[in-house]
Amino acid sequence: MERTLILVKPDGVKRNLVGEVLSRIETKGYTIVALKMMSADRELLVRHYAEHEGKPFFEPLVEFMASGPIVALIAEGNRVIEGFRKLAGATDPTVAEPGTIRGDLARDQGTKVVQNIVHGSDSVESATREISIFFPEL
């Protein structure tokens, strides 16, 4: 059974959208196998976004992700990585399709980095690495 890391970002937590995001994941038929609300420190975020280090958006992204609590969860199911990314919608909420999390719930806030409610792993390798960062106890 495939697993993925999903993060409800600070904008989603601040806007009280955690329940909506969890509901969409469960309604799709995926199982939530681990869940926690946390504050992510710089060290954890630098590890998580390591592939973006040195890019112009790296520092604003780390700053945004550290700006408030996040919800980290592991979802499980057949092809859950691909399925959740489709459920989340395009990274840019302005062009994300209606019916997706980003298409329905996010919009361009005019900030340094896109605030788009959720993150989802993009591959089995990324999911394995990201789950170990956010859930080292598993």
Query: Which residues belong to the active site?
Result: 119
Can you spell out the DSSP letters for 28-59? TTPEEEEEEEE---HHHHHHHTGGGTTSTTHH
54-101 pLDDT tens trace: 999 999 999 999 999 999 999 999 999 999 999 999 999 999 999 999
18-38 pLDDT tens trace: 999 999 999 999 999 999 999
| Least confident stretch, 13-17, 25-29, 51-55 | 51-55
Answer yes or no: is pLDDT of 111 > 90. no
Q: What distance in Å separates the CA atoms of residue 118 and residue 72, rounded to the nearest whole number?
A: 10
Answer yes or no: is pLDDT of 109 > 90. no
pTM of the model: 0.95
Q: How confident is the model at residue 12 (pLDDT cuts 50, 70, 90)?
A: very high
The class (CATH top level) of 2-88+117-134 is: alpha beta
Answer yes or no: is pLDDT of 126 > 90. yes
Q: What distance in Å separates the CA atoms of residue 98 and residue 95, rounded to the nearest whole number?
A: 9
pLDDT number for residue 105: 97
| Domain assignments of the chain as residue spans, ordered by start | 2-88+117-134
Q: Which residue's structure tokens are 């939530």?
A: 32
